[in-house]
Amino acid sequence: MNKEVVQSFQEASSSYGMREAIAEAKRCLRCKTPQCRTGCPIENDIPQWIHELSMGNLGNAMRIINGRSNLPAVCGRVCAHERQCEGHCILGKKEQALHIGKLERFIADFDSQMGLIREAVAPKTRGKVAVIGSGPSGLTAAGDLARMGFMVEIFEMEPVAGGVLMFGIPEYRLPKDVVRREIRRIEELGVVVRCNTTIGKDYTLDDLFDLGFDAIFIGTGTGKPRTLDIPGVELQEVRQAIYLLRLVSLFQAGNVQRQEVPLTQGQRVFVIGCGNTAMDAARTALRMGAASVQVIYHRTMNEMSALRAEYNDALAEGVRFHWQSNIVEICGQDGHVRSLVIEHAGQRREEQADAVIMAVGQMPASRIVSTTRGLEVDGRGYLLTREKPYGMTTRKGVFAGGDVVNHTATVVHAMQNAKKVVEGIAQYVDAIKLLETITGEH
Ligand SMILES: Cc1cc2nc3c(=O)[nH]c(=O)nc-3n(C[C@H](O)[C@H](O)[C@H](O)COP(=O)(O)OP(=O)(O)OC[C@H]3O[C@@H](n4cnc5c(N)ncnc54)[C@H](O)[C@@H]3O)c2cc1C
């Protein structure tokens, strides 16, 4: 692949123009039992909006998408379409499946440029909900609750909202302007976003109830990286992928200097792990000027959790993959990485290396749980929730959703879960308000 392309952080995939989008939408078979919808975790009414698009009714198409999703421009770019909507499209059995993701992206982008629709803001009469975290789960919960007539405030510890959308997934896959646009639309529903506010430090959950919130939604994700217990992990150039991606994102936003990003020109970089985080770290390392990037994965190619499309792009950009291989030691000199010992099929070999990026999974941080009585977690720190009201934790009025409950998943699965929890919150708040009215409490 052209080196200039690999070094660019500009969006890598192309968008449709109007003519192409309508032509593509016209390929839809309008199946009686649309499998694409079944394949979408949030049951986006795909055939309906594709039909509207095929007739040139973009406003109607956007209205239908909005009925299920607060993040269409994001989902259109980063969802696992090959496993979800497009993977279920009947057209795919004989020819190319309909490019549903690209069509969703086209409509959402067109809407933000042209202001196709303006949603009416629902009067906030049903109660007050605090949402902790502004990733896909928190944004979905906030948007849906605001539409249902709840007053919603989001508390986010980072200086800007978006969670992994802002600080994890790199610019070349998901431009930050797109994320900001989606968040602005959620704010237009009346949602207040308070950044630089860490719950568990600046406020406890009890403080939030004292401030008058009727319920709390915890959507804090899995921000704590896992590590490997191998000799040499303490060396200076061994970094966690999520911290590195965050720094690159801050650098691109002009908030940190280039030298603060611990990847230098010409390095031989090794990435451990083969999920989406590993692919993003590998491709980002190339864009930051790495001389070579090699991914080491202990399982086979078919077992990697990265999307096939992400893997293909990484491969095309020059990333090399070593399957069924383990790094058993990172060797250093004066505190710096010098080489690695890699084991494959019982054989060990040593390779020169300058930097190692760990992308071996994440888990929830314990900041909120350790400062709140009555919140129970499983053995790995994930919050325990119940079926009725859906999503309530072991603490009354405190709900949780997204990755902090479901283990690290995907954007759309975090959204799916948050949508269900919103129903639980609405039932709970409506019930306590009714009780207050009956018993005369305020
Ligand atoms: C590098 C990377 C690439 C990925 N690529 C994809 C992809 O291509 N497609 C896909 O579908 N999924 C992808 N995923 C997974 C997806 O991003 C997550 O499943 C999703 O973001 C989870 O959403 P969430 O809202 O539960 O958590 P998050 O997005 O993690 O958001 C949690 C938010 O809570 C905030 N927070 C945490 N603690 C506190 C606190 N105490 N007080 C206040 N705020 C707090 C955090 O700052 C953060 O903003 C990727 C993940 C990573 C890390």
What is the 3 state secondary structure string of the chain? CCHHHHHCCCCCCCCCCHHHHHHHHCCCCCCCCCHHHHHCCCCCCHHHHHHHHHCCCHHHHHHHHHCCCCCHHHHHHHCCCCCCHHHHCCHHHHCCCCCHHHHHHHHHHHHHHHCCCCCCCCCCCCCEEEEECCCHHHHHHHHHHHHCCCEEEEECCCCCCCCHHHHCCCCCCCCHHHHHHHHHHHHCCCCEEECCCCECCCECHHHHHHCCCCEEEECCCCCEECCCCCCCCCCCCEEEHHHHHHHHHHHHCCCCCHHHCCCCCCCEEEEECCCHHHHHHHHHHHHCCCCEEEEECCCCHHHCCCCHHHHHHHHHCCCEEECCEEEEEEEEECCEEEEEEEEECCEEEEEECCEEEECCCEECCCCCHHHCCCCCECCCCCECCCCCCCCECCCCCEEECCHHHHCCCCHHHHHHHHHHHHHHHHHHHHHHHHHHHHHCCC
- What is the pLDDT at residue 12? 76
Does the structure show a pLDDT above 90 at 121? Answer: no
Q: Output the CA 425–ligand 1 centroid distance in Å.
A: 21
- What is the pLDDT at residue 75? 97
- Ligand 1 atom nearest 136 alpha carbon: 25
* Residue nearest atom 49 of ligand 1, based on CA coordinates: 163
- What is the pLDDT at residue 7? 66
Does the structure show a pLDDT above 80 at 6? Answer: no
Lowest-confidence segment of 23-32, 289-298, 431-440 by average pLDDT: 431-440
β-sheet bridge partners, residue 239: 357
Does the structure show a pLDDT above 90 at 301? Answer: yes
- What is the pLDDT at residue 2? 57
Q: Output the CA 170–ligand 1 centroid distance in Å.
A: 13
- Model confidence at 358, pLDDT cuts 50, 70, 90, reads very high
- Ligand 1 atom nearest 368 alpha carbon: 41
**Domain limits, CATH 1.10.1060.10, in the chain:** 14-114
Does the structure show a pLDDT above 90 at 9? Answer: no
pLDDT digits (tens, 9 = 90+) for 54-68: 999 999 999 999 999
Lowest-confidence segment of 285-299, 303-317, 360-374, 428-442 by average pLDDT: 428-442
- Model confidence at 4, pLDDT cuts 50, 70, 90, reads low
Pocket (CB within 6 angstroms of ligand 1): 78-79, 132-138, 155-158, 163-164, 168-169, 198-200, 219-221, 223, 242, 245, 276-277, 280, 365, 367-368, 402-404, 408-412, 414
pLDDT digits (tens, 9 = 90+) for 315-338: 999 999 999 999 999 999 999 999
Q: How far is CA 383 from CA 123, 163, 269, 313, 397, in A?
A: 32, 18, 35, 35, 14
| Pocket mutation for ligand 1, best pick of 217, 276, 280, 413 (most atoms within 8 Å of C-beta) | 276
Does the structure show a pLDDT above 80 at 268? Answer: yes
Q: Output the CA 99–ligand 1 centroid distance in Å.
A: 26
* Residue nearest atom 38 of ligand 1, based on CA coordinates: 220
Does the structure show a pLDDT above 90 at 392? Answer: yes
- Model confidence at 441, pLDDT cuts 50, 70, 90, reads low
- Model confidence at 5, pLDDT cuts 50, 70, 90, reads low
**Domain limits, CATH 3.50.50.60, in the chain:** 128-223+363-439, 227-360
Residues of the chain with pLDDT > 90, as a percent, come to: 89
Residues of the chain with pLDDT > 70, as a percent, come to: 98
Q: Output the CA 7–ligand 1 centroid distance in Å.
A: 25
The stretch 222-246 carries a mean pLDDT of 96
Comparing CA positions, the residue from 361, 372, 368 lying closest to residue 407 is 361
CA 297 to chain centre: 23
pLDDT digits (tens, 9 = 90+) for 164-184: 999 999 999 999 999 999 999
What CATH class does 14-114 carry? mainly alpha
- What is the pLDDT at residue 203? 96
Q: Output the CA 94–ligand 1 centroid distance in Å.
A: 36
- Model confidence at 442, pLDDT cuts 50, 70, 90, reads low
User: What mean pLDDT is reported for the chain?
Assistant: 94
The stretch 408-434 carries a mean pLDDT of 95
Fold of 128-223+363-439: FAD/NAD(P)-binding domain (3.50.50)
- Ligand 1 atom nearest 281 alpha carbon: 1
Does the structure show a pLDDT above 80 at 368? Answer: yes
- Tokens linked to 141: 């919960």
What homologous superfamily is domain 227-360 in, according to CATH? FAD/NAD(P)-binding domain (3.50.50.60)
- Model confidence at 3, pLDDT cuts 50, 70, 90, reads low
- Ligand 1 atom nearest 220 alpha carbon: 34
- What is the pLDDT at residue 374? 92
Q: Output the CA 411–ligand 1 centroid distance in Å.
A: 8
- Ligand 1 atom nearest 411 alpha carbon: 11
- What is the pLDDT at residue 69? 95
